[in-house]
Amino acid sequence: MTEKSTSHLTEAETAPAVTKLSSEVEKPRFWENPTFLFVLMGVLTMIVMIGTYFIAQRYDDPMIVIASVSIVAGITTLIGGITIKTIDQLSQTNRMKTEFVSIASHQLRTPLSIIKWYTEFLLKPEKQKNLTADQLGYIKTINQSNLRMIRLVNDLLDISRVESGKIQIRPEATNIVELTKNIMAENHALADQKKIKLQLKYSDSIPLLLVDSKRMGMVIENLLSNAIKYTRHDKQGVVSINLSEDGKKLLFSIADNGVGIPASDHKNIFKKFFRANNTMKLKTSGTGLGLFIAKAIVESHKGKMWFVSREDEGTTFYFNLPLKQKKLGA
């Protein structure tokens, strides 16, 4: 194993342990899925049919039996019609929402790109000499806000692709360790600003992975920036990344000793637009889309993502990827 550590803190400090932790994320409750309506229809139909059977056994009058069968057929038809109509409405609403998000996001990219081009042009050193301090400050604020909008639009486009099953994966041989090192280097300034120690441990035997390096970079970037973001300034923060081989899979873990996630929020953490209640108090920026997208990217690579967290103690996110992949999700 190779280790690399950087920060203002002492080497004796370590990140929270990442062993003996749960490997499953709580799944959505059954009744949150439209399939529940089909099951309900089946159960009700069985109950009515059993009731009809007992009625037929009790009464010899054929009219009563015919009436019972007719009631069963009517109830089954009614429930079936309601179920089909409900599912159809849900499907249409979801399709319209996805199409709207995709169209709106595409339309926003052009003006946002133009704003980005002009602000970056005005922020060039040779152009800054013609601006006052106030004007330069305004342009920087516009540029920062515009970049946040661009990130949001890109996230919305990714969500529309995920929901429509069209997330694009372009696999290539990737050194996941070097990719992680590069992303850590990009986040050093923020970590140093908050006096957070970054640690990296990895196995020297990890082979090249057949993954979409850009999208896997998005996953690692999201997990790392969140770990740094949700560790308080007044706490000696530690963020530890570990890459190892776990059988036929790569295991990636990132542990922090930040604010953690309340137990009541665990079931929602991978949902769109969700942010844990305690993170809202930190007044940090975020849309609640990053983890939803990250999980979808990992699953598109035939992997799995999960986490373990305790409030006020820290969080560890994990994901695994097959070391040998024949065909990735489209």
Query: Is the pLDDT at 62 greater than 70, yes or no?
Result: yes
User: Any idea what DSSP says for residue 30?
Assistant: G
- Domain membership flag for residue 112: yes
Dihedral (CA of 302, 308, 311, 313) sign:
negative
Tokens matching residue 312: 């006020």
Claim to verify: residue 218 and residue 146 sit in the same structural domain: no
Residue with token string 């439209």: 34
User: End of a domain among 139, 166, 193?
Assistant: 166
CA angle 279, 282, 286 (to 5 degrees): 60
In terms of average pLDDT, the best of 44-58, 95-109, 239-253 is: 239-253
Query: Is the pLDDT at 185 greater than 70, yes or no?
Result: yes
Query: Is the pLDDT at 116 greater than 60, yes or no?
Result: yes
Residue with token string 């969700």: 274
Claim to verify: residue 78 and residue 194 sit in the same structural domain: no
Q: Let me know: does 87 contact 39? Beta carbons within 8 Å.
A: no
Residue 147 makes CB contacts below 8 A (sequence gap 6+) with 116
Q: Per-residue pLDDT averaged across 124-147, rounded?
A: 87
18-26 own/partner pairs: CB under 8 Å, 24+ apart: 18/240, 18/242, 18/253, 18/255, 18/316, 18/318, 21/308, 21/316, 21/318, 22/306, 22/308, 23/306, 23/318, 24/306, 25/266, 25/269, 25/270, 25/305, 25/306, 25/307, 26/266, 26/267
User: End of a domain among 166, 184, 212?
Assistant: 166
Residues of the domain holding 226? 2-27+169-322
Dihedral (CA of 253, 254, 257, 259) sign:
negative
C-alpha to C-alpha distance for 230 and 279, rounded to whole angstroms: 7
Q: What are phi and psi of 21, to 5 degrees?
A: -115, 155
Claim to verify: residue 222 and residue 314 sit in the same structural domain: yes
Q: Which residues of 142-179 are buried (b: 16+ CB within 10 A; e: fewer)?
A: bbeebeebbeebbbbbbbbbbbeeebeeebeebebbeb
Claim to verify: residue 303 and residue 225 sit in the same structural domain: yes
Claim to verify: residue 111 and residue 202 sit in the same structural domain: no
Claim to verify: residue 93 and residue 230 sit in the same structural domain: no
Count CB neighbours of 260 within 10 A: 21
pTM: 0.62
- Domain membership flag for residue 328: no
Reported as a single tens digit per residue, the pLDDT across 292-315 is 889 999 998 999 999 999 998 999
- Domain membership flag for residue 77: yes
- Domain membership flag for residue 123: yes
Q: Residue 120's closest CA among 147, 94, 156?
A: 147
Q: How far is CA 229 from the centre of its chain?
A: 16
Tokens matching residue 170: 């372009």
Q: For residues 79, 81, 84 and 90, what is the CA-based torsion angle, rounded to 10 degrees?
A: -90
Q: Let me know: does 302 contact 247? Beta carbons within 8 Å.
A: no
Q: What are phi and psi of 3, to 5 degrees?
A: -130, 140
- Domain membership flag for residue 327: no
Residue with token string 């009219």: 63
Claim to verify: residue 140 and residue 248 sit in the same structural domain: no
- Domain membership flag for residue 304: yes
CATH code at position 211: 3.30.565.10
User: End of a domain among 166, 186, 205?
Assistant: 166
Claim to verify: residue 173 and residue 318 sit in the same structural domain: yes
Tokens matching residue 308: 């373990």
Claim to verify: residue 309 and residue 179 sit in the same structural domain: yes
Claim to verify: residue 287 and residue 160 sit in the same structural domain: no
- Domain membership flag for residue 330: no
Residue with token string 């990217």: 297
Query: Is the pLDDT at 291 greater than 50, yes or no?
Result: yes
Mean pLDDT (the chain) is 78
The pLDDT of residue 21 is: 33
Give the number of domains in the chain.
2
Q: Among 104-118, 215-229, 253-267, 312-326, which is the least confidently predicted range?
A: 104-118
Claim to verify: residue 92 and residue 148 sit in the same structural domain: yes
Residue 16's identity, in one-letter code, is: P
Query: Is the pLDDT at 22 greater than 60, yes or no?
Result: no
Reported as a single tens digit per residue, the pLDDT across 196-248 is 999 999 988 899 999 999 999 999 999 999 999 888 777 789 999 999 998 89
Claim to verify: residue 181 and residue 241 sit in the same structural domain: yes
